[in-house]
C-alpha cells in the first residue's frame, strides 16, 4: 500500500525581549541557576504578573508577517498542571482569544514547487523552567531562570506531507522570526522548539490517521530524522495490522531513537480558565499600523530586492535571504568588495561548507564580511586563481590574517607576469619534445584536448600560481611556434 | 450534581490533595452539598449573557521591557526546603 | 490610652501628649497580658514595633511627619511583611518569611505607622468564623464562646479587645464586613482595584480586596487615605487619584438617596437584627436622607455563584504551594507525586482542601460550562442589579450578617450553613463594589452590623454616611463587657 504522511507543527518561539513576559527579570541566556528568577517567577505568595508590552509588539509583528489577523482583544488563561519547572502550578497562556489568528506561510520547495501551510493560530505564553537530571543523590535540580520567558506558540494546520516540507516550513519560520528580530534563532539554546504531530493514511484517502506528537525537537536535522523514524514506525505498525496509539513521544538525537512518553489516557485535564490577575489586552488599528511600519524587511521582500539591486539569480537570492544573518553578511561584504555575485557564491559554497563543518553560525564566523571581501577583491583583480583562493580562504579561517597578508607571507600571488611564465613554458617545451611534436602534428580540433597536458605541467611547475588565462594564451602561442 | 468516590479520586489526583479511603465518603458528601447549593444556578436562563471574569471593565496595562529585578537568589533560597548549587531539589523528575 | 481612636492618637502624637513609643509599649503590654484569651494575634513583633516607634518619634520630633506617623496598627497575616512570618493562617506557611512587603504594608511604613504584629485569620481567608486557622480559633471579645466572624476575625477581635487601635484586613466575600458586624466595629472593603493586591496572599484574585477594621468611620477614612494607592505591580489596580477620604465626612446627608433592597430582608434574617436595621433606617431619615425600596433580583444567586468562582480561582492560586520553593514540605518524599500529595495534604486544612476540590471540579472537563461559565454569567447579572439600582439611589443599605455572633462549632459540620453567613456581603465582591459595616445595636449583648454599599469608587460617600450615623448614635462607642 502507498502511504501518505500528514504533519502538523506546534512551534515554541522564544521572544527576544529583554525581560520576562510577566516580570522584570532578565531573559539573558546562560546565567547561573536561579539568578534570574524573581519573586514573581518563583510564584512567591502575593506576587502578581504584569504583561510586557514588547512581547505584544513582537507577537503582532509575527502575525503581520504570516498574513494573519491580529487579535484586537486577547486574553490570558491559566493552564493547570503540576510540574516542578512550573512554579505557579499553572502556565499562563492564551486559548480562546489568542493574539494571532489564522494565517499562512508560503514555502518554495526544490524544483520550484510551492506550498502553502496554513497557520491555525499563534498565542503568547510563558516558558517553563528546567529540570536538571544530573544526580543530586537521587534528586533533580530545578532552575527557574527560563520560567516566564515569553514564547509564541505557532500552531499549523496538518498541511505538510513530508519531512522535507516540514523542515522547509521550520526553516522559513526561522528566517521570518530572525528577520523580524523577535527571536534570536539560537536553536541549540532552545530558542525554537518543535513539536511534530505525525500521522499516516493510505494515499488517496481523506480521513486522518491517529497521530502521535514528538516533542521538543530543537534542530532541523533532528526534526527530519524524527519524522522519518516515526513515519516508518507507524507504517510498520499499520502494515502489521496494528493500531497507532495516540501518544506523546520523545526523540533522542544522540541515539537516533524515539520512545513513548505518555499516552492520551494519562493526559491531563488542564482546567483552563481566564487568569483573574490579568485583564484583556486590547490593541487597536492604530497600534497595529504603527507596528507594521516598524517591521524590519521580511525575507521575501529582501529576496526581491537582492535580485533587483545586486543582480543575483532568484535562487541565489533565496538562499542568501533564508537566514537573516547570511543576508546581513552578504550586504556587508558586498559593500566593501563591490562584487555581489562572487560574494554570494562564496557564501553559499566555501563559507557555507566551512561553517557547516565547524558547526558555527555565520554571524559568529571567524571569516568576517571584511575578510571575505578582501579575498573576493583579490580574485576579481586576478591576483588569485580560484584554486589558490580556496587555500587563502582556509588560511583566513585559521586566523592567519587577511587575504593580502596571507598572499604576501605564503607567496601565493598568481603569476601573470609574461617573463616568468615564458621561462616556465620554455622549460616544459624543452623537456617534452615528443609531446610538442605530437601537438604540432595534430589537427586543429584535437589540439585543444592535448593542451591540457602542457597546462598541467606548467601549473605544477608554478605551484599552481600561474594565471590560467595568461598561461593558456602564452602556451598556444609558443606551441604554435 | 452529586459526586462519588471515583470523582473524589479523580479530583484528588488533579489537585494533588491526598484523601484517604476513610475520608473519601465524607469528602464526597460535603462536596456534593456544596454542589447542591451551586446547582441553583442552573435554573436561570443566561443564554444572552456574556461571562464576566472581572468586576471592572478594565484592560491590561502593559509594562515597559526594562529589567527591574536584581539577583536575589540567596534571599529567596534561604526560605526553600531543599537547595543545592543554587538549584531547588525535588525527587527525580522522570520524563 | 487604648480608648483612643486613630484620630485621637494622631492628634495626641502631634501635640506630644504622648510618644509613639509610649502608645506602642502600652499596646504591646496589653497584647502580652490579654491576648491569651482572644488569640487574635498569630505573631506579635515587639522589637520591630518599638524600633519603628522610636523612628516615628524621631520624625515627630523633627516635624513634617506624615499624618499617621507613630500610630500603631496590626496587619492581617495575609499581608506579606519582610522578615516577619506571614502564615496566612496555614500550616503550609508556618515557616514562611516573605522577602518583600505587601504594597499596603509599604504604604503604611512610609507613613511611619508602627506594626504591632500579624493577626489571626481563617486559613487562606477561607471561612466566616475564624475556626479554620491553623493557629486556633479567635474568641469574640463580646462573647467568649462565640466566633468573631471571619476571615479577618483576628483583626476584628484585636480591635474590639483594644489590642490594636485598628487593623488591616481583607475581604473576598465579606471577610471584613462580617467580622466588623460580629465584633461591633467599622469595617470597609473598598472598590475592587482601589487598593493594591501586591503582597496580599491570593484567595480569589477577582474578588479579593484589602480594607480596614477600625472603631469609627473617621478612623477608616484616615487609614484608607494611606492604604489606597495606584500600584504598577498589580495589573488590576486602578490608576485613579486617591481623594482625601476625610474631606466629606461632615457633609450633611440632606437629599442622600438610600436604597433598601427587599431581598436583604427575607427568610433567614434574625428578626432582632432586622429590627436594629429598621431603626438605623429611621436614624438616616432623621438625618435628611430619603429611603427608597430597590430590588436586587439576583441576590439569591450570589452565594451559589461565589462558591463556583472563588473555589475555581483558589484551586489555581493555591497550586503554587507544592513544597518546592518555600512553605511546608513533607518528610522524605519517595517520589515527585508523593512530594506534592503529602506536602499539600499535610499543609492545608479541611476547608481549604474542600474548596480546592470544589474549584477543581467546577473547572474540569465537561463541567466548565455548567459551573464556571454559568457562574460568570450570573456574576454579570448580579453586577447589573446594582448598576440598575444605582440609577436611582446613592447608597444601598441592609444588614451585614443574618444574625449576631454564633457559638463555636455550631456551623463547622455544615459548610453550606457557614457559607450562608455571607449571603448579604458576597454580591458586593462579585460586583466589585465598595461596602462598609458599622454597628447599629446589640442582640443578646452581641453587636449587629449595618451594611452600606456604594457605587464604584464612592468610598467617600460611604464613609460620610457612616460617619454621620456615628455622630448621631453611640453604638460604635460601646465596648464589650470585661474589656479593661
| pLDDT > 80? residue B36 | yes
Q: Indicate the residue of B54, B72, B88 with minimum beta-carbon distance to A276.
A: B54
- Please state, as a whole number, how many other Cβ atoms lie within 10 Å of the Cβ of residue C264: 23
Chain C residues within an 8 Å CB radius of B52: 376-377, 379-380, 383
* H/E stretch holding C224: helix C217-227
> Does residue B24 fall inside a structural domain?
yes
| Domain boundaries, position B39 | 5-43
Q: Which of B10, B44, B63 sits opposite C301 (nearest CB)?
A: B44
Cβ of C211 under 8 Å from any chain B Cβ?
Answer: no
B68 within domain boundaries? no
**Distance (Å) from the alpha carbon of A274 to chain B's nearest alpha carbon:** 7
Residue A265 confidence (pLDDT): 59
Element at A197 (helix H, strand E) = strand A192-202
- C-beta separation of C153 from C138 below 8 A: yes
Of C434, C436, C441, whose CA–CA distance to C404 is shortest? Answer: C441
Mutation to test the A interface, candidates B11, B18, B62, B64, most A Cβ within 10 Å? B62
Per-domain boundaries in chain A: 3-288, 297-410, 418-479
Show the domains of chain C with their CATH numbers: 6-253+455-477 (3.90.1300.10)
Could you list the beta-strand ranges (E) of C295-443: 395-399, 435-443
pLDDT of residue A382: 79
Interface test with C, best of B6, B14, B17 (most C CBs within 10 A): B17
Rounded to two decimals, the ipTM of the complex is 0.96
Most C CBs within 10 A among A276, A278, A281, hence the mutation to make, goes to A276
Alpha carbons C278 and C255: distance in angstroms, whole number = 19
Single out the catalytic residue among C175, C196, C214, C437.
Answer: C175
Considering CB atoms only, which of A39, A42, A136 is closest to B84? A136
Give how many domains chain B has, as a whole number: 1
A418-479 adopts what CATH topology?
A: Arc Repressor Mutant, subunit A (1.10.10)
C4: which 3 cell numbers?
A: 483612643
Q: Transcribe C248-280 into DSSP letters.
A: TTT---TT-EEEEEGGGGSTT--HHHHHHHHHH
- The percentage of chain C sitting over the pLDDT mark of 70, rounded to a whole number, equals 100
Specify the DSSP element, H or E, that contains C326. none
d(CA A69, CA A57): 14
Residue B58 C-alpha, separation from nearest chain A C-alpha, in angstroms: 7
> Side by side, which strands form the sheet with A90-94?
A90-94, A76-80, A273-274
CA separation for the pair A104, A64 (Å, rounded): 10
Sign of CA dihedral B51, B55, B61, B67: negative
Q: Give tens-digit pLDDT for B2-14.
A: 899 999 999 999 9
Instruction: List the catalytic residue out of C19, C20, C40, C76.
Output: C76
Q: Answer whether A44 sits within 8 Å of C336, measured CB to CB.
A: no
CA distances from C480 to A192, C49, C161, C444 (A): 66, 26, 8, 12
Distance separating alpha carbons of residues C79 and C202, to the nearest angstrom:
10
**Is A273 an interface residue toward C (CB < 8 Å)?**
yes
Q: Which positions in chain C touch B14 (Cβ < 8 Å)?
A: 360, 364
pLDDT score, position A438: 85
Taking only the tens of pLDDT, chain A with its 481 residues reads 899 999 999 999 999 999 999 999 999 999 999 999 999 999 999 999 999 999 999 999 999 999 999 999 999 999 999 999 999 999 999 999 999 999 999 998 888 789 999 999 999 999 999 998 877 788 999 999 999 999 999 999 999 999 999 999 999 999 999 999 999 999 999 999 999 999 999 999 999 999 999 999 999 999 999 999 999 999 999 999 999 999 999 999 999 999 998 776 566 899 999 999 999 999 999 999 999 999 999 988 999 999 999 999 988 998 899 888 899 999 999 999 999 999 999 999 999 999 989 988 899 999 999 999 999 998 988 788 778 889 899 999 999 999 988 888 887 777 777 777 888 888 888 888 888 888 888 887 788 778 888 888 888 887 777 777 788 888 888 887 6
Q: C481 exposed, middle or buried (CB, 10 Å; 0-12, 13-18, 19+)? A: exposed
What confidence tens digit (pLDDT) does each residue in C280-307 have?
A: 999 999 999 999 999 999 999 999 999 9
Residue B25 is assigned to a structural domain of this protein: yes
**Domain-located, residue B95:** no
C341 Cβ under 8 Å from any chain B Cβ? yes
The three three-digit cell numbers of residue A113, written as one number: 514547487
Q: Is B32 inside any structural domain?
A: yes
Across the interface, of B12, B33, B94, the residue whose CB is closest to C416 is B33
Amino acid at each position: 500500500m502507498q502511504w501518505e504522511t500528514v504533519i502538523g507543527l506546534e512551534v515554541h518561539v522564544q521572544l527576544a525581549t529583554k525581560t520576562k513576559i510577566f516580570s522584570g527579570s532578565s531573559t539573558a541566556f546562560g546565567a547561573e541557576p536561579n539568578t534570574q528568577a524573581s519573586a514573581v517567577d518563583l510564584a512567591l505568595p502575593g506576587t502578581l504578573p504584569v504583561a510586557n508590552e514588547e512581547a505584544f509588539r513582537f507577537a503582532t509583528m509575527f502575525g503581520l508577517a504570516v498574513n494573519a489577523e491580529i487579535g484586537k482583544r486577547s486574553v490570558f488563561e491559566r493552564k493547570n498542571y503540576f510540574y516542578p519547572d512550573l512554579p505557579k502550578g499553572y502556565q499562563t497562556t492564551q486559548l480562546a482569544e489568542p493574539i494571532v489568528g489564522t494565517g499562512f506561510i508560503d514555502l518554495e520547495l526544490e524544483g520550484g514547487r510551492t506550498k502553502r501551510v496554513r497557520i491555525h493560530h499563534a498565542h503568547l505564553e510563558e516558558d517553563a523552567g528546567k529540570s536538571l537530571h544530573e544526580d543530586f543523590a537521587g534528586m533533580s535540580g530545578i532552575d527557574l531562570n527560563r520560567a516566564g520567558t515569553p514564547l509564541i506558540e505557532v500552531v499549523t494546520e496538518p498541511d505538510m506531507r513530508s519531512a522535507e516540507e516540514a523542515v522547509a516550513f521550520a526553516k522559513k519560520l526561522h528566517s521570518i522570526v530572525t528577520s523580524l528580530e523577535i527571536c534570536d534563532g539560537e536553536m541549540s539554546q532552545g530558542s525554537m522548539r518543535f513539536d511534530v504531530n505525525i500521522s499516516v493514511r493510505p494515499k488517496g484517502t481523506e480521513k486522518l490517521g491517529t497521530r502521535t506528537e514528538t516533542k521538543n525537537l530543537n534542530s532541523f536535522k533532528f526534526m527530519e530524522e524524527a519524522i522519518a523514524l516515526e513515519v516508518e514506525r507507524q507504517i510498520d505498525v499499520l502494515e502489521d495490522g496494528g493500531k497507532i496509539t495516540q501518544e506523546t513521544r520523545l526523540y533522542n538525537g544522540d541515539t537516533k531513537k524515539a520512545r513513548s512518553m505518555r499516552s492520551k489516557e494519562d493526559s491531563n485535564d488542564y482546567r483552563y480558565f481566564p487568569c483573574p490577575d490579568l485583564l484583556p489586552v486590547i490593541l487597536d488599528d492604530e497600534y497595529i499600523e504603527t507596528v507594521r511600519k516598524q517591521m524590519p524587511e521580511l525575507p521575501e521582500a529582501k529576496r526581491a530586492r537582492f535580485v533587483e539591486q545586486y543582480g543575483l539569480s532568484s535562487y541565489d537570492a533565496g538562499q542568501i535571504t533564508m537566514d537573516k544573518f547570511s543576508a546581513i553578511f552578504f550586504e556587508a561584504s558586498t559593500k566593501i568588495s563591490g562584487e555581489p555575485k562572487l560574494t554570494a557564491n562564496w557564501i553559499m559554497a566555501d563559507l557555507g561548507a566551512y561553517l557547516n563543518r565547524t558547526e558555527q553560525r555565520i554571524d559568529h564566523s571567524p571569516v568576517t564580511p571584511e575578510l571575505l571581501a578582501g579575498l573576493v577583491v583579490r580574485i576579481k583583480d586576478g591576483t588569485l586563481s580560484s584554486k589558490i583562493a580556496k587555500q587563502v580562504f582556509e588560511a583566513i579561517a585559521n586566523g592567519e590574517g587577511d587575504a593580502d597578508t596571507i598572499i604576501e607571507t605564503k607567496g601565493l600571488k598568481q603569476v601573470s607576469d609574461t617573463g616568468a611564465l615564458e621561462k616556465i613554458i620554455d622549460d616544459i617545451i624543452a623537456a617534452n619534445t615528443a609531446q610538442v611534436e605530437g601537438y604540432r602534428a595534430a589537427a586543429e580540433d584535437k589540439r585543444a584536448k592535448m593542451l591540457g597536458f602542457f597546462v598541467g605541467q606548467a601549473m605544477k611547475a608554478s605551484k599552481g600560481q600561474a594565471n590560467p588565462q595568461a598561461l593558456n594564451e602564452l602556451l598556444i602561442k609558443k606551441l604554435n611556434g | 450534581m452529586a459526586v462519588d468516590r471515583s470523582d473524589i479520586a479523580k479530583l484528588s489526583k488533579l489537585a494533588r490533595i491526598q484523601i484517604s479511603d476513610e475520608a473519601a465518603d465524607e469528602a464526597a458528601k460535603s462536596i456534593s452539598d456544596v454542589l447542591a447549593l451551586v446547582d441553583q444556578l442552573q435554573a436561570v436562563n443566561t443564554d444572552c449573557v456574556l461571562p464576566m471574569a472581572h468586576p471592572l471593565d478594565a484592560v491590561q496595562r502593559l509594562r515597559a521591557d526594562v529589567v527591574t529585578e536584581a539577583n536575589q537568589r540567596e534571599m529567596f533560597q534561604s526560605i526553600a526546603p531543599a537547595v543545592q548549587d543554587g538549584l531547588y531539589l525535588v525527587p527525580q523528575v522522570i520524563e | 490610652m487604648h480608648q483612643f481612636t486613630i484620630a485621637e492618637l494622631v492628634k495626641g502624637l502631634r501635640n506630644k501628649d504622648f510618644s509613639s513609643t509610649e502608645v506602642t509599649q502600652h499596646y504591646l503590654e496589653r497584647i502580652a497580658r490579654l491576648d491569651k484569651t482572644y488569640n487574635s494575634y498569630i505573631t506579635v513583633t515587639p522589637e520591630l514595633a518599638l524600633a519603628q516607634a522610636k523612628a516615628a518619634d524621631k520624625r515627630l520630633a523633627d516635624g513634617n511627619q506624615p499624618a499617621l506617623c507613630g500610630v500603631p496598627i496590626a496587619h492581617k497575616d495575609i499581608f506579606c511583611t519582610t522578615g516577619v512570618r506571614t502564615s496566612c493562617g496555614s500550616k503550609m506557611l508556618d515557616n514562611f518569611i516573605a522577602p518583600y512587603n505587601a504594597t499596603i504594608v509599604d504604604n503604611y511604613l512610609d507613613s511611619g505607622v508602627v506594626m504591632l504584629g500579624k493577626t489571626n485569620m481563617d486559613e487562606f481567608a477561607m471561612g466566616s468564623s475564624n475556626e479554620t486557622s491553623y493557629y486556633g480559633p479567635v474568641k469574640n471579645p463580646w462573647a467568649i464562646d462565640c466566633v468573631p466572624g471571619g476571615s479577618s476575625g483576628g483583626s476584628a477581635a484585636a480591635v474590639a479587645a483594644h489590642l490594636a487601635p485598628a487593623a488591616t484586613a481583607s475581604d473576598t466575600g465579606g471577610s471584613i464586613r462580617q467580622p466588623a458586624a460580629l465584633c461591633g466595629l467599622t469595617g470597609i472593603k473598598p472598590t475592587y482595584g482601589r487598593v493594591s493586591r501586591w503582597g496580599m496572599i491570593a484567595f480569589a484574585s477577582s474578588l479579593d480586596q484589602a480594607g480596614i477594621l477600625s472603631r469609627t468611620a473617621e478612623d477608616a477614612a484616615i487609614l484608607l487615605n494611606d492604604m489606597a494607592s495606584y500600584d504598577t505591580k498589580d495589573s488590576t489596580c486602578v490608576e485613579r487619584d486617591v481623594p482625601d477620604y476625610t474631606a466629606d465626612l461632615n457633609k450633611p446627608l440632606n437629599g442622600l438617596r438610600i436604597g433598601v433592597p427587599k431581598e436583604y430582608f427575607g427568610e433567614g434574617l434574625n428578626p432582632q437584627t432586622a429590627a436594629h436595621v429598621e431603626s438605623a433606617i429611621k436614624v438616616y431619615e432623621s438625618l435628611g436622607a430619603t429611603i427608597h425600596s430597590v430590588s436586587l433580583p439576583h441576590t439569591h444567586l450570589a452565594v451559589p455563584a461565589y462558591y463556583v468562582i472563588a473555589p475555581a480561582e483558589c484551586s489555581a492560586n493555591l497550586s503554587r504551594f507544592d513544597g518546592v520553593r518555600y512553605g511546608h514540605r513533607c518528610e522524605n518524599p519517595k517520589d515527585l507525586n508523593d512530594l506534592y500529595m503529602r506536602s499539600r495534604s499535610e499543609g492545608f486544612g479541611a476547608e481549604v482542601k474542600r474548596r480546592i476540590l470544589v474549584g477543581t471540579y467546577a473547572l474540569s472537563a465537561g463541567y466548565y460550562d455548567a459551573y464556571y461559565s454559568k457562574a460568570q454569567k450570573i456574576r454579570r447579572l448580579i453586577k447589573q442589579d446594582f448598576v440598575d439600582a444605582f440609577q436611582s439611589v446613592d447608597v444601598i443599605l441592609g444588614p451585614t450578617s443574618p444574625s449576631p455572633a454564633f457559638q463555636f462549632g455550631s456551623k463547622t459540620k455544615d459548610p453550606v450553613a457557614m457559607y450562608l453567613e455571607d449571603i448579604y456581603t458576597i454580591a458586593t465582591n462579585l460586583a466589585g463594589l465598595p461596602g462598609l459595616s458599622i454597628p447599629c445595636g446589640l442582640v443578646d449583648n452581641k453587636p449587629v452590623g449595618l451594611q452600606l454599599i456604594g457605587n464604584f469608587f464612592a468610598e467617600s460617600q460611604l464613609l460620610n454616611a457612616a460617619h454621620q450615623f456615628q455622630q448621631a448614635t453611640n453604638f460604635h462607642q460601646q465596648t464589650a463587657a470585661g474589656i479593661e
